[in-house]
Amino acid sequence: MEKLTSKEEEIMHVLWKLKKAFVKEVVADLPKPKPHYNTVSTVIRKMEDKGFVKHEAFGNTHRYYPNISKEDYRKKYFSTVINNYFENSYKNVVSFFAKEEKISVDELKEIIKIIENKEKQ
């Protein structure tokens, strides 16, 4: 399964949120400026070809729904980012966010508690 483009990811987030939706509902939930209906329809069909989306047919109309969960997609592509940009090291990831001041000391302590609790189980 290949990675989604940024536009596909934006549409996928809408489908994860709505669970099932017609193209017009997806368009309505996208931020302004709203893409044209035909553009969204084309992108969704490409996502279906890639295996990310499936549909239910109602005559000539289709209602689309995700074929992959948000959690499964996140796991797959977060692992790719960690491998490609952080030498497959979660320590490097946390260190990066600490240096960039994107994570606080309190958040790091919370992460440590989560890890310690997981080890106790």
Q: What is the pLDDT of residues 10-58, one digit of tens each?
A: 999 999 999 999 999 999 999 999 999 999 999 999 999 999 999 999 9
In a domain, 77, yes or no: no
Of the chain, the percentage scoring pLDDT greater than 90 comes to 60
Q: Quick one: pLDDT band at residue 1, thresholds 50, 70, 90?
A: low
CA distance 87 to 99: 17
Identify the three-state secondary structure at position 12. Answer: helix
Question: Residue 16 is inside which H or E element, if any?
Answer: helix 6-18
Q: Is residue 72's pLDDT more than 80?
A: yes
Co-location of 49 and 99 in the same domain: no
Calculate mean pLDDT across residues 68-94: 89
Amino acid in the structure at residue 88 = N
Domain housing 49: 6-66
Co-location of 48 and 94 in the same domain: no
Q: How far is CA 51 from CA 3, 60, 80, in A?
A: 11, 21, 19
Number of domains in the chain: 2
Q: What values do phi and psi take at 89, rounded to 5? A: -120, 120
Co-location of 60 and 96 in the same domain: no
Q: How far is CA 95 from CA 20, 25, 80, 88, 103, in A?
A: 39, 41, 18, 13, 9
Q: Is residue 106's pLDDT more than 80?
A: yes
CA distance 109 to 43: 42
